[in-house]
Structure 1
Amino acid sequence: MEMSGQTALVTGATAGIGRAVAVQLAQEGAEVIVHGRDARRGAEVVAHIEAAGGRARFVPADLADSDDVLRLAAESGAVDILVNNAGVYKFLPTSEMTDELFDLHMDLNTKAPYLLVRSLAPGMVRRGHGSIVNVSTLAASEVTTGTGMYSASKAALEQLTEIWAAEYAAQGVRVNAVAPGPTRTPGTDDMDAATFKRIEATTAMGRVAEPEEVAEAVVFLASRRSSYITGVVLEVSGGRLALG
């Protein structure tokens, strides 16, 4: 129960990696604020955590709306651990990407984390401790077909991760990021077998990650076990294939 007495806000915590992170943080003793847009799924995650003896509450918010992001920060109160996991990804070539989709990627994947850090980091500074973990993607550093706007929004988040780490390090707040590779999520459930195998073949391990495997890395960076680590982007990608 290493995180007993701490409060963690996990955005996008009703499914996939975010859900796994919320569950693992609760297992470590943190009180978890489960963010999402679907009240039914949010209630299910809270019930799952509470059934295992943990503490959690659900706070809905639309992270594409700046005012709603600020409301989420205000309702969350004193947060010791912030996990910016929520995001959007729409894979299209640049010629088919609309202005609206561009704005949506930047608002959810970059601006919302910025607003949450701006709102919640000062409280961490006052208390003398805090940990922020941003969930990025391997596509931010590796050219991937059709991911232009998604990759750009996450690359910006990685740059902010390094800047925030430098800004807050001397004040007891650490900021890191995790960059997952292909991961099994609700979005992969409907994928045909041939496409799924092609994705698995892009990793050195020859398989996609389970959400819980990515969550382990997030929770490690959020915990005191990584007390001398800040400003890193940790790949959780199953390894890259050798050239040649």
Structure 2
Amino acid sequence: MEKLLQGKVAVVTGAAQGIGLEIARTLHQHGAQVVLADLDGDATARAAGDIATPDLDCVGAVCDVTAEDQVQTLVANTCRDFGRLDVFVNNAGITRDASLKKMQVADFDAVITVHLRGTWLGIREASAVMREQKSGSIVNISSLSGKSGNPGQTNYSAAKAGIVGLTKAAAKEVAHHNVRINAVQPGLIRTPMTAAMPPDVFAQREADVPMKRAGEPGEVAGAVVFLGSELSSYITGTVIEVGGGRYM
């Protein structure tokens, strides 16, 4: 396999499991040294150990993406240990689903804070390094929920839509420094979270996808690799939908 990220250094937040873990694994397969960041230090360390190879480092780091000092430390330690930062993936996220009638303010605030403040802090800190390098790619993980809106996810849909606006605004600020910022919007993807859905609900959502199947985490990761590589060197401020044609 051609390694599209040979010699690159990448950070992935929310990388201990699910889509984040697969993104980290795929970036590493394409030649990147990867820092996996997550709140769960033990799980992140195990994941990094599973991915690492004798000739290519993969390390875990504990980071609460809503904490300014922790995101600053994550970026600073990456640059200290690896000498540069080429790809930063803002993937960390949570859900607190409930109907509009039943959702608590705390549940709304928690989801907005993790997704929007977390992504904004990641962009701010990573782009500061990349501006000095005059190169770099930031990839923000949104969701098709942010395009279509999902019942029971007014907080999540709002946050994921906000990530699109944040991506475009930030991309305009740093484009002249040769720093690119793009977003990926996954649709129905097979993860532990979707596996917990009632089978009939999952089947109906799968039937609504034009390609008539759910996606795999690796298919989301492939879009991230593309956006992180030189194949997308003239692409910034865009959103790639990875949803099998849903909502096209």
Matches within 5 A, 1:52-201: 53-77=55-79, 78-201=84-207
Match of 2:15 in 1: 13
Tell me which of 4, 26, 36 is aligned to 2:6.
4
Task: Tell me if structure 2 keeps the 8 A contact 1:125–1:171.
Answer: yes
Letter in 1 for 2:106: E
Match of 1:219 in 2: 225
Secondary structure, aligned partner of 1:238:
coil
The more displaced of 113-122 and 167-176 is 113-122
Match of 1:46 in 2: 48
Aligned-partner Cα distance in 1 for 2:49–2:149: 40
Identical columns (%): 38
Letter in 1 for 2:13: T
Match of 1:237 in 2: 243
Task: Tell me if structure 1 keeps the 8 A contact 2:96–2:108.
Answer: no
Task: Tell me if structure 2 keeps the 8 A contact 1:110–1:153.
Answer: yes
C-alpha deviation, 1:89, in angstroms: 1.7
Q: Deviations over 1:103-150 (max 9, x none)?
A: 211111010111121112121011110000000000111132111110
Task: Tell me if structure 2 keeps the 8 A contact 1:25–1:32.
Answer: yes
Aligned-partner Cα distance in 1 for 2:55–2:192: 26
The more displaced of 27-36 and 62-71 is 62-71
Secondary structure, aligned partner of 2:101:
helix
Query: What TM-score results when the alignment is normalised by the length of structure 2?
Result: 0.91
Matched, 1:30 2:36: no
C-alpha deviation, 1:170, in angstroms: 1.2
Aligned length in residues: 242
Letter in 1 for 2:8: Q
Task: Tell me if structure 2 keeps the 8 A contact 1:64–1:104.
Answer: no
Query: What TM-score results when the alignment is normalised by the length of structure 1?
Result: 0.93
Task: Tell me if structure 2 keeps the 8 A contact 1:161–1:231.
Answer: yes
Task: Tell me if structure 2 keeps the 8 A contact 1:204–1:241.
Answer: no
Task: Tell me if structure 1 keeps the 8 A contact 2:148–2:247.
Answer: no
Aligned-partner Cα distance in 2 for 1:128–1:66: 24
**Alpha carbon RMSD of aligned pairs, Å?**
1.7
C-alpha deviation, 1:53, in angstroms: 4.7
Secondary structure, aligned partner of 2:121:
helix
Aligned-partner Cα distance in 2 for 1:55–1:109: 28
Task: Tell me if structure 1 keeps the 8 A contact 2:39–2:62.
Answer: yes
Cα distance change on mapping 1:105 and 1:241 into 2, 3 Å? closer
The more displaced of 124-133 and 68-77 is 68-77
Q: Can you give the 5+ residue segments of structure 2 that lack an aligned partner in the other structure?
A: none
